[in-house]
Chain A
Amino acid sequence: MLSAALPTSTAFVREHLRAPLTLVLLVAIPAFFVLIFASVLGEFAKALGGTLASQSATAISAGWAAAFLSGTLAFFQVSSSRGADRRLAAAGLGPVRVAVSRIVAALAIGLTVSAVAFLTLWLRSGIGHPLHAAVAIFTFAAIYIGIGALIGAFVKGQLEGSLLVILVFSVDAFSGPQMTSNGFVSVTPTRNAANLLIAAGGGQGSPGGDWIGSLAVALGALAVALAAFWFSARTRA
């Protein structure tokens, strides 16, 4: 299945990376998040009574960059190609193979985005635990592939859908760990991954619970993404 889907996935990745503005944003957004958004996040946490330290805010902002880019690109993968994907599925490729091709493409883009975010963080501040940080950043990307694809499958308007992705992202980012004194939103999709990244940025290890939690949420998000891609490409023959 995967080998059959690979040439189609490659075409889907090319489709996204051929937009010059997307390529510019792939570099500009991680730089913006790590250099500017991190200090905003730190100030915001201080105002809300949170304890997010400057170094932690810098580390976590690389995760948010990967999340933001992966989420919006996954949303537009569904939203801008719905008709073409369904026609291809109806032509004989089938919705399952289209969905597998889409998720492979989304993961490849997520990996690229995560690598750029990781590199930006490395250049900005260095990383205590680089391997942990890399896994945590990719986990952010994987979770937002699920969120972006899910919104793309159910919200047809591109403006409404992209605004919804940003809303989910904003709620998630500003209610993460160490952001508030009372933790008013204690269950957010990236909470465990954020804990991993904050710890890795400070050169600390993380408890097994955060690893298991972030793995479970990332796998769940990818399953949701696969279902969303299938839903968008499904045929009714």
Chain B
Amino acid sequence: MAAREEIPGRVSAKANAERSQSSEAPVLAARGVEKSFHRGIWPLRRKIEVLKGATLEVRPGELVGLVGENGSGKSTLMQIIVGLLKRDAGEVDRPDRLGYCPQLPMVWEKLTVDEHFELYGRAYGMADADREQAVVGLLDELQFAKYRTYRIEELSGGTRQKLNLALSLMHEPELLLLDEPYSGFDWETYLRFWEMSERRRDAGMGILIVSHLLAERDRLDRMYELCEGRICTC
């Protein structure tokens, strides 16, 4: 925790928590989200209820945590918000321009780092010059510029995770969804990650981050906890 104090320009969580009480419209609102999975084949088919009415909000300029035990449905809720999973019930209001950093990098093993940036730049509708400017900035921030021409299969787990994070950030989204984005990061990169997140939060980005570590709670403006499919702490 002492290392956190060394980050320059860090705005206190308390200050942001006060700001988050403002009447600004949420950039993300999920209400009563329900989701079940069906496993096995008949007659052994069983229903697993994961989300039973989860509700949460994120406002612009907020860094919000989502915690819960393993299997509590955090990643499922993230995937429903992004649109990778269909919800059984409930509503989700979110902006079109969002960034999503999944828990495990969803990338193509044989393509290079640069080729990933090209594909995502096109998906985000970015002009070539804007993409290059954003990519150079992110490579510098996360310090992996020397790997631009490397294939993903040649990268370490930590560098893959840097690319995973950079792909979600390159279009400066209004809402950023991070599902344990720092797994595989070394301590320096971990600290840099929080610095980057706080800088973007201060610039008005809404950020929802799935977190497991108690030590991180102090960095967050607010926190939701998922218990048995519902938000139990706010």
Contact = CB atoms under 8 A, between A and B. Distances in A.
B106 A84 contact: yes
A87 B111 contact: no
Contacts, number: 64
B63 to A, nearest CB: 22
28 contacts: A7-B122, A8-B119, A8-B122, A11-B108, A11-B118, A14-B110, A15-B108, A15-B110, A16-B110, A18-B151, A80-B109, A81-B108, A83-B104, A83-B106, A86-B84, A86-B106, A88-B119, A88-B123, A90-B84, A91-B120, A91-B123, A91-B167, A92-B96, A92-B123, A235-B83, A235-B84, A236-B83, A236-B84
A229 to B, nearest CB: 15
Size category of the binding interface on chain B:
20 to 34
A85 to B, nearest CB: 9
B83 A93 contact: no
A90 B83 CA distance: 7
B83 A11 contact: no
A19 interface: yes
Interface residues of A, number: 23
Given A8-B119, A11-B115, A14-B110, A91 B84 contact: no
Contact of A18 (B86, B87, B106, B110): B110
Interface string A118-141: 000000000000000000000000
Interface in B109-168: 109-111, 115, 118-120, 122-125, 151, 167
Nearest to A22: B110
A237 interface: yes
Contact of B106 (A16, A87, A235): A87
